[in-house]
Amino acid sequence: MQIRCPECNTLFQLKEADLTASNSQVQCGHCFHIFQAKETQDSFELVEEDNMADIDINTFADAIDDIPEEEVITPETMTTAPIFKPNVMVDDIVPPELRQQTTSSSPLIKTIWSLGILCLTIAACIQLVYFKRAELTRNAELRPYLISLCELANCEIPELKDISRLELSSKNVYSHPNVDNALMITAVIINQASFSQQFPTLQVSFTNLVGDIVMARQFKPGEYLNTSEDKLSDMQPGLPIQIILEVIDPGKNATAYEFSFI
C-alpha cells in the first residue's frame, strides 16, 4: 500500500502488517512527522482491488514511474511511533565535543573575563589618580585620602600652589626714611585660592622708558615678612598680609616697577 506524509508530501510504500504492529501510527523518515496512516491512505484515494480491472495497467504503470525516486521510501526507511529524534537541529549544528566543552567552560570563562575587566578598570583609575594627583589634591576634601593612598603607594603628593590666585594690592614705593639711596616698598598680599599655600618668592623689577630692566631683585618669604623660614606657615585663603621690602634706589633711569611671583 502507498501513503503520503501530510507534512512534507513524501510518498511511502508500506505493508498492512507494518500498520497493524504500530496501530496505524507512523513517523515520516524524511521530516519525522508522526501521523495516522489510515487517514492519509483515505485522502490519497487508494484504489480498491475490486476496481483494479477498470484501470488501464499501462496508465497505472506510467503513474508509478512518474514518482521521483527520492520520494519513494521503502518499509526499511519507515519508523513506527513512538520513535522520536530529539535535538535534531542542535545535533546537526553543534558537534557533541564542542557542545560539551562550551557548556562546561562557559561559567569559568565568564568569571575570568569579569575579573579581567575589573582589574583593568581599577588599574585605569589608579593611573588617572596618579597622573592627575596635582589637580586632585587642590580639593580640600580629597586631599587627606590622596595623601593616605600615596603613603601606601610610596609616592609624593605635591604641595598646593597656584600663584595665579595670589593678589598684590596697596603697593607703595617711597624713599627709605633711615637709609640713603634706598627705597622702601610696602604692599598687601592676599591668597584668593580656596586652599592654603606656601608663600612664594617675590621679584621686584625696575624698568626705564623703553621697558628695559634697570634693576631687579628677588625676595624670599622670610625677607619680605621679616621672619625666619622655619616659623613660616602657609597662606590662608582670603587673609591679607602686609609685606615690607627694602631695595637700593635704581636712580632716575627707573621710571616704572613691577611685581611678580615665582
Domain-wise residue ranges, the chain: 2-85, 98-153, 163-261
Average pLDDT over residues 11-19: 72
User: Residue 20: is its pLDDT beyond 60?
Assistant: yes
CB-based contacts of 42: which residues, under 8 Å, 6+ apart?
A: none
Of 82-86, 120-124, 146-150, 213-217, the range with the highest mean pLDDT is 213-217
pLDDT band at 79 (very low <50, low <70, confident <90, very high): very low
Q: Mean per-residue pLDDT for 104-124?
A: 83
Computed over every residue of the chain, the mean pLDDT equals 75
| Low-confidence winner among 29-38, 89-98, 184-193, 245-254 (lowest mean pLDDT) | 89-98
The whole-model pTM stands at: 0.43
Q: What is the pLDDT of residues 180-229, one digit of tens each?
A: 999 999 999 999 988 888 899 999 999 999 989 999 999 999 999 988 88
| Placement of cell 631695595 in the chain | 247
Rounded Cα distance between 38 and 94, Å, is 37
163-261 maps to which CATH number? 2.60.40
What CA–CA distances, in Å, run from 14 to 20, 65, 72, 244?
Answer: 11, 18, 11, 120
**What does the radius of gyration of the chain's CA atoms come to, in whole angstroms?**
51
* 167 has a pLDDT exceeding 70: yes
- Strand boundaries in the chain, DSSP class E: 2-4, 11-13, 25-27, 34-36, 72-73, 79-80, 166-175, 182-191, 202-207, 213-219, 241-248, 256-261
The pLDDT confidence band at residue 48, using thresholds 50, 70 and 90, is very low
Q: What is the mean pLDDT of residues 42-52?
A: 46
